[in-house]
Amino acid sequence: MKITSCIKVLPIVVILLLFNSTVFSQVVVERSKDKVVISGIPYYIHLVKKGETAYSISKAYGITVEELTKEIILSNPGIDINKLPVGAEIAVPRREFMSDRQKFDDQEKKYIYHKVLKGESLSSIAEKYGLTVRELRRENRDLRFPQVGDFVRVPGVNTAEIQEIEKVKTDIVAAIVEEPVIKMERPAGFTPVKELRGSLDVAVLLPFYLRENSERIEIDSSKSIKGKKIYTVIKRAEDWIYPWSLDFVEMYEGILLAADTLRSLGLDINLYPYDIKSDTIAITKLINSGKLAEMDLIIGPVYSYNLTAVAAYARDLGIPVISPVTLINNSALSSNPTLFMAGSSLEIAQETLSKKISEYYDHNIVFIHSGTLGVDEDIKRFKNLIFTELSYKLPFDEIKFKEIPFYSRSMFNNDSITRLSHALSGQLKNIVIIASEEDPVISETIQDIHGLSKKFDIKVFGYQAMRDIKNLDPKYFFDLDIMVYSPYWIDYTKSDVKQFNSDFRQKFLTEPLPKSYAWQGYDIAYYFLSGMAMYGKDFIAHPEIHYPDLLQTEYDFIRKKAGDGFENQKLFLVRYTKDYEVKLVEENKLIQQK
């Protein structure tokens, strides 16, 4: 059995860097031999060494400081241009191609240049002009993956032909009724996962921050004498882990355990982890290398812009891509039929909450949010959903709904609790919706509600983020009997949960916390790998046919329309009861979390 893995996660393997205190001598910058094509433009990938500056690097490559600065800001947002961090990878444009960034030879009669729009791929562009993907790639060898704003050279057509093509396509689209989304019946009980066959190659694209973990020293500049900072070298402990790595190291640990479980059932799994952070350089190099084309499944990346790039690339190859964490919105699903969002977006939470709130149609509803009145699109959408659901139960003019934009008490001298008191009803029961994911809004609002709860009958609903508040006494949640929709619920009495904890402890010498990404990593890998092994391509088109018993979630993947990707719509209603227990509300029953 072949097992491929290039990351050892506990402890993380780190490379000790030599620390040289003589940094004042002039540094000779050597040109990098590493080259990459980003959005059709050739670049050098330069690894910043000690003592190098934007000025010295630009001179070495024969470009101006301004040109280099622009590229650094675009490809590495947040980097300090005046103090380039040692080890940073920066894209340096090749001098001979600088002019190509500004203009294209549109006088060449045999070609036109198509500007890439959102959602377009080489496949869709080729179809648009009546070409094959191979013909289009032949003319754009440096543009393996086009991004929005890129220009693709299209051979053998002229402007008149393009206008005619556009007219015909418009007429056809107008005459076609959108293909309905066909959903197959979900199994009545859990799908048994037993004997498996076959081999699957899986790319795991997560921000491990390997370079940051390899740095065993840090510079402490917190002290100063007479206004001048004193720099002290601090050697980190051997078991130190870069803080931003931890969540995704644990996610990978969960993936490893799921792979071990499925291997024991006969499935051959090869894992290929890659350190993909927020910059676009690493993911562009990986896509251009062609290594992802050999994968059966891709887990990650976690950042939206990298995820969109990978999903569009994998779409033409028919490779499923899994977004493993909750994103701000689900726009990446558009025209990406092999993309799966394992975490529900805010839109799904709002839809689910709206249906639940409609059960209390005869209550006084108070809607608290931190958005700008009438401007914030999320807030407007949520309000419209609530009114739509309520309108099924009673006439519009009978809906009792009050809206309160949140203002910090520190700014308005407790005015917020006064406004809240005026919005609540003494005659009717009250529903308070906290439509915010911001810690200050949630914590201050809950404290205000708690202070008024003896005078008013109040039931509180909120987003999943409410469960993650750290600076608020949990007593408030239990006293208010708060209910929150969450994509995750762990029953520690289940045998598979106990086994997971035991295996995790044995392999990694610790146990995952309830909010650890290890649970997500295991469920994602177990669900998709077992589904692909059992059903093949049918599973990718209809994931609802597979319903295995997972650790902390249930996947209910639905696509809005044909051609889009899938989003998990399963949310659990979690309740904090007055008897200080956290319970799952299921079919009007309370199930206690052990």
**What mean pLDDT comes out for the span 11-35?**
50
The pLDDT of residue 340 is above 60: yes
- Average pLDDT along the chain: 80
Predicted local confidence at residue 230, as pLDDT: 60
Predicted local confidence at residue 55, as pLDDT: 83
Taking the C-alpha atoms of residue 299 and residue 321, their distance in angstroms, rounded to an integer, is: 6
Q: Which residues contact 70 (CB under 8 A, 6 or more apart)?
A: none
Which tops the pLDDT comparison, 522 or 231? 522
The pLDDT of residue 302 is above 90: yes
- Asked if the structure places residue 58 within a domain, the reply is yes
- Asked if the structure places residue 586 within a domain, the reply is no
State pLDDT tens for residues 460-480: 999 888 888 878 899 999 999
**What mean pLDDT comes out for the span 525-554?**
94
State pLDDT tens for residues 92-103: 877 655 544 443
Q: Kindly report whether the global pTM for this prediction surpasses the value 0.85.
A: no
For 266-279, what is the HEC assignment?
Answer: CCEEEEEEEECCCC
For 500-538, what is the HEC assignment?
Answer: HHHHHHHHHCCCCCCCCHHHHHHHHHHHHHHHHHHHCHH
- Asked if the structure places residue 592 within a domain, the reply is no
State pLDDT tens for residues 555-571: 999 998 888 999 999 99
Does residue 266 sit in the same domain as residue 327?
A: yes
* Residue 32 burial by Cβ neighbours in a 10 Å radius (0-12, 13-18, 19+): middle
The pLDDT of residue 153 is above 50: yes
Predicted local confidence at residue 5, as pLDDT: 41
Does residue 161 sit in the same domain as residue 294?
A: no
The C-alpha R_g of the chain, in whole angstroms, comes to 27
Predicted local confidence at residue 458, as pLDDT: 94
Percent pLDDT > 70 in the chain is 77
DSSP structural state of residue 237: P
Does residue 332 sit in the same domain as residue 447?
A: no
- Asked if the structure places residue 30 within a domain, the reply is no
- Asked if the structure places residue 589 within a domain, the reply is no
Does residue 375 sit in the same domain as residue 476?
A: yes
The pLDDT of residue 181 is above 70: no
Under 8 Å between Cβ of 354 and 371? no
Exposure string (b/e) for 199-212, b if CB count within 10 Å is 16 or more?
ebbbbbbbbbbbbb
Does residue 207 sit in the same domain as residue 332?
A: yes
Does residue 129 sit in the same domain as residue 149?
A: yes
Does residue 325 sit in the same domain as residue 288?
A: yes
**What mean pLDDT comes out for the span 245-263?**
96
Domain limit, last residue, from 485, 516, 546: 485
**What mean pLDDT comes out for the span 174-195?**
69
Taking the C-alpha atoms of residue 446 and residue 504, their distance in angstroms, rounded to an integer, is: 36
Q: Could you give the 3-state DSSP secondary structure of residue 391? A: helix
Nearest Cα to Cα of residue 571 among 346, 376, 414? 346
Domain range for residue 557?
Answer: 199-344+492-571
The pLDDT of residue 26 is above 70: no
Does residue 111 sit in the same domain as residue 72?
A: no
Count of the separate structural domains present in the chain: 4
Does residue 226 sit in the same domain as residue 308?
A: yes
- Asked if the structure places residue 254 within a domain, the reply is yes
Q: Which CATH number do you get for residue 378?
A: 3.40.50.2300
The separation between the first and the last C-alpha atoms of the chain, rounded to the nearest angstrom, is 38
Predicted local confidence at residue 224, as pLDDT: 65
State pLDDT tens for residues 391-444: 999 888 899 999 988 765 544 445 667 888 999 999 999 999 999 888 888 998
Predicted local confidence at residue 213, as pLDDT: 82
* Residue 159 burial by Cβ neighbours in a 10 Å radius (0-12, 13-18, 19+): exposed
Does residue 340 sit in the same domain as residue 364?
A: no
State pLDDT tens for residues 363-372: 999 999 886 5
Does residue 212 sit in the same domain as residue 242?
A: yes
> Tokens 């993909």 identify what position?
276
Does residue 89 sit in the same domain as residue 167?
A: no
- Beta strand pairing call for 199-206 and 297-299: parallel
Predicted local confidence at residue 298, as pLDDT: 97
Which tops the pLDDT comparison, 40 or 440? 440
Domain limit, last residue, from 450, 485, 520: 485
Q: Strand (E) positions, 148-294?
A: 151-155, 199-206, 217-225, 228-235, 268-275
Nearest 5°: the CA angle 178, 182, 186 is 160
Please give the distance of CA 205 from its chain centroid, rounded to a whole number: 12
For 53-94, what is the HEC assignment?
Answer: CHHHHHHHHCCCHHHHHHHHHHHCCCCCCCCCCCCCEEEEEC
